Chain A
Amino acid sequence: MSAPGTGAARYIGQRVPRKEDARLLTGRGQFVDDVAVPGMLHIAFARSPIARGRIVSIDTSAARDLPGVHAVFTYEDIKDQQADFLSFYLAPIEVRVTPLADGRVAHVGDPVALVVAQDRYVAEDAVSLIEVAYEEEDPVVTLDDARNNPSIHPDAESNIAADMGDEDIDDNLQALLDNAPHLITHKVIHQRISQSPMETRGVVAVPEGPEELTVYITCQSPHAVARWLSLVLGMPQGSIRVIAKDVGGSFGLKNHPWREETSAILAARKLGRPIKWIEDRLENLTAANQAREQEMTLRVAFDAEAKLVASHGDYSVNNGAYPLGADANIAVHMFIWPAYKMPAYSFLSRGWYTNTIGLAAYRGPWAMESLARETALDAAARKIGVDPIEIRRRNLISLKDQPATSGLGVYVDDITPAECLEKLLQNFDVAAFRAEQAAARKEGRYLGLGIATYIEPTGAAGSISVMTGELAQLRIEPTGKVTAMMSTHSQGHGTQTTMAQVIADRLGVPYDDVTVFEGDSSRGGYTPGAAGSRQGVIGGGAAIKASELLADKVKRLAAHLLNANTESIRIEAGMVHVEGAPEMSRTLRSIAETAYGEPDKLPQDFEAGLEAQYRYTPPPVTFTSAAHACVVEVDIDTGFVKIQRWISSEDCGTVIHPAVVEGQIAGGLAQAIGTVLLEEMSFDDRGNPTAATYKDYMLPAISDVPTFEFLHANTPSKSVGGIRGVGEGGAIIGPPTLVNAIADALSQFGELPVDLPLTPSKLLDFIEGRPVRKPKEAKRAPPTPASPPPSAPQPAAAAAPSATAVSADGDWAMTIHSQMGAQEMKARFSTEGGRLTGKLMSDQGDQEFEGRAAGDTVAWEMKVTKPVSLTLKYDLKIEGDKLSGKVKMGIFGTSKVTGERL
């Protein structure tokens, strides 16, 4: 680092010591379980031992009588308090979710009652004394079960939690697939994953009288939690303060509170006592929301030169019983092809309810697109007989092909996957490896090379309302030191370090003089937190902009005090200099003392103090690109995979802190290795989780993870500072890279099925020619199902006109309930015979339409251009002064519509 006076010290790009480490290395961090409040009580939950059934009775008397127990609550005891659950997007949850089970249980681990006691030991004793009688029903466990059985939820029509895309393939696309010289049909099965942050979930709820609440919680953003709680509990947000100083990892699990945290808060408010709930690992593995469990069949057609012609994806994801928002995962389809020259793509995407733990996010929630695409490309290369590198070179979009817009409307103008691949190949001698591989094969050793390329959307803001910009509030204190209140939040990301680097760099002060405060909803401002690899990009941009505003303020004041030109003022290493006049240098502290304490010396109209803030909203999305290579050896006698080498060649724009960037990639890659080789959260036929400890759910250890090699390209992005996000990438590109290496090693045994995890026993089945997955009979619905399966929707025109038809004519207040929240509008209908004319009016503008009216139904189609070009198909039924029905929104699936006559 440069000495003071010799130029501004550059901190962006340096491996500076992390600010967080001194406290974390000495045991002085503050994780939620480290918080103790006077009078605090402890909670344990009684949970369902069955996957599906009716609660016949709950006897809590023995539990209540145990000394040390303060209260035992069932749903009946807390139902007087508001708890209207919302998704991450703050949209209502599609099926009714209650904090504790209300009359029925829908998965093993469903919380049925809670005990509040003097300590956790007594609380667990009391839980064992609660007697619950159940009437057990047959559970729906797998995706196949969900497809073949009636709805598990009384308030849902079917087990389809969410759907998008088109059920019928477009004729043109079908023709392209049918007539192409090469077509591959590639099925990928991805197991269920436990996010497994080393710190489990937990909360300390401290009611401060009837109107205020302090919540210590392990989470991804205290601001997002405060906003969520305020809406869910119906409390004014200002009365809720959420604090999360240190968080022991999250990886998507802790986006917002769910049933247990909410129950603990309700219990605390009910008793007027501080209450702590810390999830134990058994609960975390068997009751906390999980991720992934998905299947995809990807069809890809190529021309004679192995160039892409068309593709279709059919995707399903197990949503469990109570997902954190029903999800069909449209991002899988949005991001599967924009890095490649793919002329035509369509898809069908569905999320399914089952009697298992609900779905949550996990690092790179849409990662299935890279796994399916990159493994399909390798399978195609083997089938067509071209090199896997060559098939990518022929089809990747390079800088000279941009700007380009994918079929689903994803616009790219600065992605570099092709360039990352070439850089990777300059650093890895493929020809030498192939020679080594051939020689090894002669000795009976099986080496394989896997290559994968991808792009990743990061730093998204502005297109979804909860995905806002980030806020930086900076202050040069009268001491000359700098404090920053940032909206960023670290669950290991090190944002106190990276944001301080950016500020020190741009303000011209020593890194040691900058302190970043975050992790408290009373500081900084709203953001969704660590979601979508956004904090470096957006928080970094906000810190730069706020630093520049503050530097300008210092310069203006210094110029005034020193009788110099503003342009001649330099701030370096905490000193303020006048160019060409070294004798006039002042410390920042002396300038700051004047700014706060001597108002008479300030320029006219100069706001006293040295403070600035900026909320930065970046371009809607910033792409990160990468190419990875991995070399494995597979022992064909044991099925064990040894990873010999792994090289990452990524382009994440401006690097703030290389060790933080590499740490993010390495952490994601270790999770990828776990996904491909080790981790599996599965359920038996009765819906019991089969992994309840870390002896059964195997996380990668140091012996499973090789030393990674890193190549950085630094194409600056268009966001302020040129930063690109890097939080999720390793977990997205890692799995296909490793699967491709294993498939390459074992190619002589045939085409390896992509059925994760590729455990030694599965690989041995494959090597020895046995089926990798024994076919399982899907459970069939009994002949007389409890609730009827969904009937095919009747086209409106088919309904017979009835004499008693109610008229649709007039004005209606109408609401579309989409996954992104409710959209309000006014509708005007007028019918004449079978003809409907009308108008929709909203704050987005007015639009007229024509359609059909028959009996008590109206139906029409209309085109919209925002957010993308779509045809909306409305199908509504009028009952008196109410209307209800559906709108099909093309790739965005179907949403419910309700309305009332005005």
Chain B
Amino acid sequence: MSEHRINVEVNGRQQHATIEGRLTLGDFLRVNCGYTGVHLGCEHGVCGACTVIVDGKAVRSCLMLAVQADGAKITTVEGLASPDGALHPVQQAMRDEHALQCGFCTPGVVMTLAALTQDGARPSSETLLDAMSGHICRCTGYQGIRRAARKLAGENS
């Protein structure tokens, strides 16, 4: 097995690890780092549940190897809320609009919306809804997710 030393910043904390080349970023974050909010729904890049932010971009952590993240800055859903516990605006919009039921797809949905609205960006609701078409939610029928996306775009739902 190939062993690799990597150094990654996850949710503001440095993680040094020696890992196998084949370890996915999703498994690394869940098992090695304990961020179990990273959910694996399909492990083949379709459902979007495993989405995290890598160097500012929404990435499917099931399709990326942990070695590829060497040197990167990663945010998972655990790293979004303020240290005082206040929800991130995306999380708050999701809560207000009842955009989740079982919550399994939720971290991925939140991370994609957070990536698109970071640093005060305010994309149109079309942009946000387009991005949402890459996330599968089996529970909600997407009604609340659509309302939350519109709210984040500054539209009244």
**CB-based contact B42/A702 at 8 Å:** no
**CB-based contact A248/B102 at 8 Å:** yes
- The smallest C-beta distance from B145 to any residue of chain A, in angstroms, reads 6
* Chain A 689-709: CB-based contact to B (< 8 A → 1; otherwise 0): 000011100010111010110
**CB-based contact B22/A121 at 8 Å:** yes
Centre residue among A27, A670, A703, A730 by max chain B CB count within 10 A? A27
**A28 to B34 Cα, complex, angstroms:** 11
Stretch binding the partner chain, chosen from B53-61, B63-71, B92-100, B115-123: B92-100
**CB-based contact A707/B143 at 8 Å:** yes
Contact of B37 among A27, A493, A494, A702 (CB under 8 A): A27
**CB-based contact B102/A26 at 8 Å:** no
**CB-based contact A33/B36 at 8 Å:** yes
**B13-68: which residues lie under 8 A (CB-CB) from chain A?**
20, 22-23, 30-31, 35-44, 46-47, 49
* Chain B 130-149: CB-based contact to A (< 8 A → 1; otherwise 0): 00111111111111111000
Cβ of A211 under 8 Å from chain B: no
**CB-based contact A703/B133 at 8 Å:** yes
**CB-based contact A663/B144 at 8 Å:** yes
* Chain B 74-108: CB-based contact to A (< 8 A → 1; otherwise 0): 00111011000001000100111010111111110
**CB-based contact B42/A26 at 8 Å:** no
**A29 to B37 Cα, complex, angstroms:** 7
**CB-based contact A281/B44 at 8 Å:** yes
**CB-based contact A492/B102 at 8 Å:** yes
**A246 to B87 Cα, complex, angstroms:** 20
Cβ of B129 under 8 Å from chain A: yes
**CB-based contact B103/A20 at 8 Å:** yes
Cβ of A199 under 8 Å from chain B: yes
**A248 to B104 Cα, complex, angstroms:** 5
Cβ of B110 under 8 Å from chain A: yes
- The smallest C-beta distance from A243 to any residue of chain B, in angstroms, reads 16
The size class of the interface chain A forms with chain B is: 35 or more
Contact of A694 among B44, B81, B104 (CB under 8 A): B44
**CB-based contact B106/A694 at 8 Å:** no
- The smallest C-beta distance from A794 to any residue of chain B, in angstroms, reads 51
The size class of the interface chain B forms with chain A is: 35 or more
Measured CB to CB, the nearest residue on chain B to A20 is B103
- The smallest C-beta distance from A20 to any residue of chain B, in angstroms, reads 7
**CB-based contact B102/A27 at 8 Å:** no
Measured CB to CB, the nearest residue on chain A to B79 is A27
**CB-based contact A702/B139 at 8 Å:** no
**CB-based contact A281/B141 at 8 Å:** no
Interface SS of chain A: helix, strand, loop or mixed?
Answer: loop
Which residues on the B side are within 8 Å of A248 (C-beta)?
Answer: 39, 41, 102-104
**CB-based contact A249/B102 at 8 Å:** yes
Known: A18-B98, A24-B100. A667 touches B43 (CB 8 A): no
Cβ of A89 under 8 Å from chain B: no
Contact of B91 among A26, A491, A659 (CB under 8 A): A26
**CB-based contact B142/A670 at 8 Å:** yes
**CB-based contact B136/A281 at 8 Å:** no
Measured CB to CB, the nearest residue on chain A to B157 is A707
Contact of B46 among A20, A669, A693 (CB under 8 A): A693
**CB-based contact B146/A26 at 8 Å:** no
Contact of A17 among B95, B102, B129, B142 (CB under 8 A): B95
**A253-310: which residues lie under 8 A (CB-CB) from chain B?**
280-281
**CB-based contact A198/B20 at 8 Å:** no
**A650-709: which residues lie under 8 A (CB-CB) from chain B?**
659-660, 662-663, 666-671, 693-695, 699, 701-703, 705, 707-708
Contact of B102 among A22, A198, A666 (CB under 8 A): A198
Contact of A25 among B103, B104, B145 (CB under 8 A): B103
Measured CB to CB, the nearest residue on chain B to A708 is B143
**CB-based contact B136/A707 at 8 Å:** no
Which residues on the B side are within 8 Å of A20 (C-beta)?
Answer: 103
Known: A280-B43, A492-B101. A26 touches B141 (CB 8 A): no
Known: A27-B107, A198-B105. A667 touches B42 (CB 8 A): no
**CB-based contact A694/B42 at 8 Å:** yes
Which residues on the A side are within 8 Å of B80 (C-beta)?
Answer: 26
**CB-based contact B98/A27 at 8 Å:** no
Which residues on the B side are within 8 Å of A492 (C-beta)?
Answer: 100-103, 139
**A178-216: which residues lie under 8 A (CB-CB) from chain B?**
196-200
Cβ of A31 under 8 Å from chain B: yes
Cβ of A21 under 8 Å from chain B: yes
Which residues on the A side are within 8 Å of B36 (C-beta)?
Answer: 27, 31, 33-34
**CB-based contact B76/A27 at 8 Å:** yes
Which residues on the B side are within 8 Å of A251 (C-beta)?
Answer: 138
Cβ of A499 under 8 Å from chain B: no
**CB-based contact B43/A281 at 8 Å:** yes
* Chain A 2-34: CB-based contact to B (< 8 A → 1; otherwise 0): 000000000000010110111011111101011
**A251 to B81 Cα, complex, angstroms:** 31
**A492 to B139 Cα, complex, angstroms:** 7
Contact of A493 among B95, B101, B104 (CB under 8 A): B101
Measured CB to CB, the nearest residue on chain A to B94 is A25
15 additional contacts (CB under 8 A) given A27-B37, A701-B134, A703-B129 = A21-B103, A24-B106, A25-B95, A25-B103, A28-B37, A29-B37, A34-B30, A249-B101, A249-B104, A663-B143, A666-B140, A667-B141, A669-B141, A670-B138, A701-B133
Question: What 9 A-B pairs are tightest by C-beta distance, nearest first?
Answer: A27-B37, A24-B103, A248-B104, A492-B102, A492-B101, A666-B141, A670-B141, A694-B46, A27-B77
> Would you mind naming 15 contact pairs between A and B with Cβ atoms under 8 Å apart?
A17-B96, A18-B98, A22-B95, A26-B91, A31-B39, A197-B102, A198-B105, A280-B43, A662-B143, A663-B141, A663-B144, A670-B142, A701-B136, A707-B143, A708-B141
